[in-house]
Structures are given as structure tokens and as C-alpha cells.
Structure 1
């Protein structure tokens, strides 16, 4: 179970996925080799031994980056597990590195990078903890 965040190039004025045109096709983030190089240069803790799947491990969280093998790279899906709000700053760094915007799949809203924007992340953790307690 993970909190899923999709990074893709979206219009800056859209606050949620509902505000994207129905025929919207995002432009690529960049050529595959360029995107991987940018990530390696800016995220020291990133393991890209599998170029299609990056991995980052923090003190209380884990992120898998599904970059895929397509060239160019249209989007990157992040699968975030664990806890701690410091992971939000890491997601913001990933977005700043590759460009585009981060869409919280659980809420349908774009992350703005504001420290107070934690509803999707906290909601995921509460749901996960509830499921685990019920097991």
C-alpha cells in the first residue's frame, strides 16, 4: 500500500485534475537519459541501478520512482510509504529537478509545495494504520 503521486507537466493554473482540459496531453518531462542524469545529480540518495525504477530511503519513509523505459519520459509515478512530513520536501525536490507538477492521486489535487498541504499524505497514513489495526 502506498501514497501515489504523479509528476507530469501540467498547466500552472490548474489546482486539481478536474481543471485540466479533457483532451489534455502533457508534454514530456525530457529525454530519458536527461531525466535520469538530472535525478542522479540532484538526489544523492537515489538508487537508479534499475533505470526504470528509482528508489530512495529516508529515516521514516521510502519512495519508489517509476520512471519507465520510454523515451522521452512523459511522467514519473512516486509510490511513497512510511511516515514523516519530511518526505514532502523530498517530493518537492524531485519535482524541481525534473520539472512539471505533482498530482496527489488520492485527492486529485496538485501539490503546491506548501508545508501545510499534507491532507493526502496524512489521509493515506491514517487509512493505512486503520487497515493494519484491523488485521
Structure 2
């Protein structure tokens, strides 16, 4: 199980998913190589085991980055298995590149949220219900 976020780029910044018009098209984030470099600049030490997959490990867990099959890349899927303290790094990644991160747990763009870690809290609560909590 993971806290899932999809990073995309649109023709302009949207405040919420509801604001995206039906005819909006995804923009290119960059070449796989440039997207890997951009991610690695914030998530230093990411291990890119292939052109489309990287894993970042920290003391609180890991994040798997999936760039997809297309080059140039139109999106990145994050599978977060780390503590909520990674939320500001994900926000930084989005804001510094004009990208938007859709948080599947909250239904919001993580970089627009007043509490970007709220999706992680929802996900971890659900996870604890499903697999049980040690607490």
C-alpha cells in the first residue's frame, strides 16, 4: 500500500481539479533524463534502476517514482511509503517546476493545499484499518 500522487503539467495552474476544463491537454514535463535530474535535485540519492523508475530512501521510508513509457514524459506517479514529513519536499518539487501534484487520498492538488500532509494522514488511517496498527 502506498500514498499515491500523480504529478502533471497543464497549460496553466489550476486551484482545484474541478477547475480543469474538459478540453485541457497535459503538457510535457520534460525528457525522462531531465525529469530524473529534476527529481534527484530535491530527492537526492534517488536510485534510478531504469529509465522510467527510481526509488528514494530515507530514514522514514521510501518514494517510488514512475515516469511511464513515453519520452518525453507527461507525468510522474509517486508511490509514497514514507512519513508525512516528505509532503513539503513533494510540494517543493511541484512549485519549483510549475507542476501540479494530484493527491489521490485528498482529491486535491498537494501544492495548493493548506495542509499538504492531510492526504498522507487519510491514507495512513485507511492503511491502519486494513492492516492493523501497532498502536
Query: TM-score, normalised on structure 2?
Result: 0.83
The separation in 2 between residues aligned to 1:68 and 1:74, in whole angstroms, is: 8
The 5 A counterparts of 1:67-78 are 67-78=67-78
In 2, are the aligned partners of 1:89 and 1:113 still within 8 Å (CA)? no
1:16: which partner in 2? 16
**Rounded Cα–Cα distance in structure 1 between residues aligned with 2:9 and 2:18:** 15
8 A contact 1:9–1:27 mirrored in 2 = yes
Q: Name stretches of at least 5 consecutive residues in structure 2 with no aligned partner.
A: none
Q: Deviations over 1:68-102 (max 9, x none)?
A: 231111000101114x3211122124325654111
1:116 equivalent in structure 2? 115
Does structure 2 conserve the Cα–Cα contact (< 8 Å) formed by 1:4 and 1:106? yes
Alignment of 1:36-51 (within 5 A): 36-51=36-51
Aligned to 1:86: 85
TM-superposed CA distance for 1:41, in Å, is 4.2
TM-score normalised over the length of structure 1 = 0.83
**Structure 1 unmatched runs, 5+:** none
